[in-house]
Amino acid sequence: MKPYADMTLEELSEELNGLTAQYKKVQALGMRLDMSRGKPCQEQLDLSMGMMDVLDSASDLTCEDGTDCRNYGQLTGIEEARELLGDMMENNPKDIIIYGNSSLNVMFDTVSRAWTHGVMGNTPWCRQEVVKFLCPVPGYDRHFAITEYFGIKMIPVPMTPIGPDMDIVEKLVREDASIKGIWCVPKYSNPQGISYSDETVRRFARLEPAAPDFRIFWDNAYGMHHLYDHRQDYLIEILAECKRAGNPDMVYKFSSTSKITFPGSGIAALATSPNNMEDFLHYLSHQTIGHDKVNQLRHVRFFKNIHGMVEHMRKHADIIRPKFEAVEETLKRDLGELKIGTWTCPLGGYFIMFDSLPGCAKDIVARCKKAGVTMTPAGATWPYGQDPNDSNIRIAPTYPGFAELQTAMEIFTLCVRISSCKKLIAEKEASSPTI
């Protein structure tokens, strides 16, 4: 089939009639399929069930240094967990704090502390006239929700195939002292699935911010989430690069096991410089006596070491890789020749990004919902939910079963075709001379 843009008004109208008939048949099936969030499926969760058996009432819950995990203490986490997460994050265990189950919670707390008490002795953000954050777009909606909650002004920065547009980032942070941070998902980004290039990471490490309390919020959520054994993205380690550049305190690096073990019962971690570490430990000493050490020990006993974690992630990849490939194949088969959308083909992570014709994303997502497929809301990948082109849609392939996913994607491409037809018909009618 030729591209929709090359069709005549009559051809488009005929195409739309056929697609509308298909859509009505799909609606009559009454399906309920959920592709709204990047959640592991049941088969992925089952991979970690053995973790429930590594500890029982007869287990020795004493760490190598003598710490009894049943009791108070170890504000930074047990040493074995710091070593395991250090290997996972490619950081020295001494530079790591182990938290509870959610890195998103750590990010919220970090912004909240900066808001009320400042960063390393600087004026609290709440006492400053304006506070701004840079937000690479499209990006992660939950990042944007945190800064919006605190009333922080969010400034969109375009993403490129190698990361945020660093010309813009460098200029803004150098010239505006009210810019206090930037959100980053540097590896297999949400939603594109791209990874920052070596040059991008090095330019981040060499930023010259006007604000002394500027921090890079480096959310390396998908550091181990490869789809393939022999085709994997590589990411330069940001803390070491910042140290080499003379900016050791500029980064907060977050990670967790949320999509490695159980999302609701994993362990989160922060890696940062010694100066930042001191700042964090000061407020943590007022917030808690220590996080869940039994769960930390459970993770260590289950994986044993980083090699166990790598093997575990291969099993995840075997489950979700066919789903990603099915999405890409369906998009190519149903839309490839029509020139009405583009999409990414990531090597890892949890998402595929789709860009429709301008002005169609909200309509596509709404049509999907009426046909029984719930997608991430259109606009969610932009601050305040406002995509200026109304074109960006995040596809989350992991949660549905394989057959459900195939059905959902067929409905999705059908909705893309209908919305695109209607848009092009309206444009051609508007441009036609009236008699």
The secondary structure of 293-360, three-state, reads HHHHHHHHHHHCCHHHHHHHHHHHHHHHHHHHHHHHHHHHHHHCCCCCEEECCCCECCCEEEEECCCC
pLDDT, tens digit, 9 for 90 and up, residues 296-344: 999 999 999 999 999 999 999 999 999 999 999 999 999 999 999 999 9
For residue 7, give both structure tokens: 């069709």
Cβ distance 187 to 162 under 8 Å?
Answer: no
Average pLDDT, the chain: 97
SS3 label, residue 50 = helix
Res 433 pLDDT > 80: no
pLDDT, tens digit, 9 for 90 and up, residues 275-290: 999 999 999 999 999 9
Range of the domain at 345: 4-44+310-430
Q: Over range 257-261, report the average pLDDT.
A: 96
pLDDT-above-90 percentage for the chain: 97
CATH code, domain carrying 269? 3.40.640.10
Q: Over range 45-53, report the average pLDDT.
A: 97
Res 435 pLDDT > 60: no
Q: What's residue 431's pLDDT?
A: 86
Q: What's residue 432's pLDDT?
A: 76
Choosing from 303, 331, 361, the residue where a domain stops is 303
Indicate the range of 4-13, 28-37, 367-376 predicted with least confidence: 28-37
Q: Over range 411-434, report the average pLDDT.
A: 93
Q: Over range 136-142, report the average pLDDT.
A: 97
Provide the number of structural domains found in the chain: 2
Q: Over range 348-370, report the average pLDDT.
A: 98
Q: Are 299 and 370 found together in one domain? A: no
CB-neighbour burial class of residue 53 (10 A; exposed 0-12, middle 13-18, buried 19+): exposed
Res 249 pLDDT > 90: yes
Choosing from 266, 288, 303, the residue where a domain stops is 303
For residue 432, give both structure tokens: 């036609």
pLDDT, tens digit, 9 for 90 and up, residues 190-221: 999 999 999 999 999 999 999 999 999 999 99
Task: Please provide residue 201's backbone torsions phi and psi, each rounded to the nearest 5 degrees.
Answer: -60, -40
CATH code, domain carrying 346? 3.90.1150.10
Res 430 pLDDT > 80: yes
pLDDT-above-70 percentage for the chain: 99
Q: Over range 108-126, report the average pLDDT.
A: 97
Residue 56 lies in a domain: no
Res 262 pLDDT > 60: yes
Q: Are 170 and 153 found together in one domain? A: yes
Q: Over range 66-93, report the average pLDDT.
A: 97
Provide the phi-psi class of 139: left if phi over 0, else alpha when psi is between -120 and 50, else beta. beta
Residue 435 lies in a domain: no
Q: Over range 409-417, report the average pLDDT.
A: 98
Token pair 């020795």 is found at 60
Q: What DSSP string describes 163-195? A: EE-HHHHHHHHHH-TTEEEEEE--SS-TTT---
State how far the Cα of 415 lies from the Cα of 125, in Å rounded to an integer. Answer: 44
Task: Please provide residue 92's backbone torsions phi and psi, each rounded to the nearest 5 degrees.
Answer: -65, 130
Residue 54 lies in a domain: no
Q: Are 177 and 127 found together in one domain? A: yes
Task: Please state the pTM of the whole predicted model.
Answer: 0.96
End-to-end CA distance of the chain: 32
Q: Are 336 and 258 found together in one domain? A: no
Res 105 pLDDT > 60: yes
Res 434 pLDDT > 70: no
pLDDT, tens digit, 9 for 90 and up, residues 150-202: 999 999 999 999 999 999 999 999 999 999 999 999 999 999 999 999 999 99
